Amino acid sequence: MKHVLVTGGAGFIGFHVVNKLLENNCRVSSIDNLNSYYSPKLKEDRLSVIKKRFQSNYNFIEGDITQDNFSNTFSKEKIDIIIHLAAQAGVRNSIQNPKPYILNNIVGHFNIIELARKQKVKHLLSASTSSVYGGDRRPPFSEFANANLPIQLYAATKRANEIVSHSYSAMFNIPTTMMRFFTVYGTWGRPDMALFKFVKSIQDGNPVELYNRGNHSRSFTSVEDISETIIRLLDKPPMLIDRGKEIDIVSAPYRELNIGNRKNENIKDFIRLIENCLNKKAKVKMLPLQKGDVEESSCDPTQVESLTGYKIERSVETEIPKFIEWYKDYYELK
């Protein structure tokens, strides 16, 4: 039985990944600091759902990966795989409140790769972001595109993590996959994410803020597709290919993978779908393009789909109604 450590295990993606791992008969340890960036109650409720579903093979630890003694928690444990999802989230918040992003995203990530080194894990999978592509104007984005010019701090910390991970992978032979997620949405989502905010605003009769006057488009990706893809990547670590004296740019068992939906959605169409599901018209407040934001974020998932044999294609037409059903049930709305 694989022992998998999931950081950020009470978070949005972490919750879905932990459930999927336990369904696949893995032994799971998850760690989360349950911070107050958004409602700790939502995180605690996610944990309650997991504990009710699974009575064994699951251990939750309330802890902080930024602490120097963090790895002591696992000194007597053998971890086979690490899925590192813990981070200070929020692109827009990183503009106003940058310091936590350095601590949580860079220091925290360093502590995780140190743990991976000490434990000699079989595979380290770590969350990155499509935001690393910055102002690239040549979508859909491929992993071969330049990702060295991020335009906000959140993306910069994630790109820094990719570079540091490559160096550790090269020095210590740590099989590492950096997962560039594209606009994840779904049930049990974060209140600061687009779908949650739009549904809440329309439901409550408050204005929906549309930056760039609604001329954004995104590769909205169901959290179900994200978690299924991660499960399929567990036993597919990158390999260092020895080609003797032949010149080869592959210098480490390391890779970066886009994980996102190939189909791109316009934000205005996205909102129209929510309006139809709620049977309510949105009050829209048009705003200019926000600093650090990009007009289009479009995914080319060719590599990850080839690796896993799994096609990322759940549609907003099927997934938005599921979210709204969850939202109304969770908040006990009619």
Active site residue 330: no
| 101 contacts 88 by C-beta, under 8 angstroms | yes
Cα–Cα distance, 115 to 253 (Å, whole number): 17
DSSP 303: H
Neighbours of 3 (CB within 10 A): 18
Strand, helix or coil for residue 262: coil
Cα–Cα distance, 164 to 158 (Å, whole number): 10
Which residues in 130-189 belong to E strands, given as ranges?
Answer: 176-181, 184-185
What six digits make up the tokens of 283?
């009050």
| 89 contacts 190 by C-beta, under 8 angstroms | yes
In degrees and rounded to multiples of 5, residue 125 shows phi and psi of -110, 125
| 254 contacts 167 by C-beta, under 8 angstroms | no
Place of tokens 């409140």: 97
Neighbours of 292 (CB within 10 A): 17
Pairing of strands 254-259, 207-210: unpaired
- Catalytically annotated residue among 133, 154, 168, 254: 154
Catalytic residues: 154
